[in-house]
Amino acid sequence: MRSRPGVSKGHVFIVAAVGTAASGGLPYPDGNSWLNGDGMIYRLDFHRHGEVRLKSRLVKPPCYYADRATQPGTKYEKYQFSNYGILRFSVFLGFRNELNTAFLPMKFSQNEPERLLVNYDAGRPYEIDTETLEIVTPIGANKEWRGVRSLPLPFKPVFSTAHPVFDAHTKEMFTVNYGRSLGSLLETTPLIQKLSQLPPELEEFIKNIAKFFSDFFFQKFL
């Protein structure tokens, strides 16, 4: 917004993927996808004439702290997360919600300030505080979001969209929460082979077995 010619006021918000606790916040040197990383929020402030100020902060949902606490050399390293393409996963804890893809601004009335969500394709969106850049709350109640029910993990995989929509006329936010069967999930990720270090010739056999997993069977033998 411009208050007078030559003077700008306002903020620009940017979110981008950086590394994780395992890489010190830097891109992985082994060539792992740069899309697999914690979200870093940058805010450019234009409130002072002739100056641009920068503030940044990592997005830190609960799974971020679990990732930090399970790094090699820690007491809980056996629970650590690993990278599988664009996913970061722990067989004991579940999936990281890396919140690194896009924002959604929302304004519900003229008397309220704008609110800002940060989003990720494989997790619940979170609202952030636009001043401190810290997360405020996940969107919706826990019971409203469905993951792969066959995976009884603390951080269950929740598939959503990184690009929800806010209707300024009806004052509603629209998003999706889609699901996948356990067999489909395991078939389309390199998870089984990497977790169990199976020889390549057994990969197809294991994928076929995954199709027959039921909720009861998986929960009983996990």
Distance CA 112, CA 114 (A): 7
Residue 23 DSSP one-character state: G
Could you tell me which residues come within 8 angstroms of residue 65 by beta carbon, excluding any fewer than 6 positions away? Answer: none
Distance CA 221, CA 97 (A): 26
Distance CA 153, CA 141 (A): 18
Q: Which helix (H) or strand (E) segment is 196 a member of?
A: helix 191-196
Burial class (CB in 10 A: 0-12, 13-18, 19+), 85: middle
Beta carbons of 95 and 160 less than 8 angstroms apart:
no
Distance CA 123, CA 120 (A): 6
Residue 216 DSSP one-character state: H
Distance CA 182, CA 188 (A): 10
Amino acid occupying residue 82: S
Q: Given this model, what pLDDT does residue 83 score?
A: 87
**pTM for the model:** 0.77
From first to last of the 222 residues of the chain, give the pLDDT tens digit: 344 455 567 899 999 999 888 887 777 777 677 788 999 999 999 988 888 999 999 999 999 999 999 999 999 999 999 988 788 988 888 899 999 999 999 999 888 889 999 999 889 999 999 999 999 999 998 888 887 665 678 888 888 999 999 999 999 999 999 876 655 665 555 554 444 444 444 445 444 444 443 343 334 434
Structure tokens at 122: 């494989």
Structure tokens at 83: 């990278």
Q: Given this model, what pLDDT does residue 165 score?
A: 96
| Residue bearing tokens 């390293």 | 77
Q: Which of 90, 95, 99 is nearest to 70 (CA)?
A: 90
Q: Give the phi and the psi of residue 181 in degrees, each rounded to 5.
A: -70, 160
User: Domains of the chain: which residue ranges?
Assistant: 2-178, 180-222
In order of 30, 33, 35, 53, 169, the CA distances from 117 in angstroms are: 31, 24, 19, 22, 18
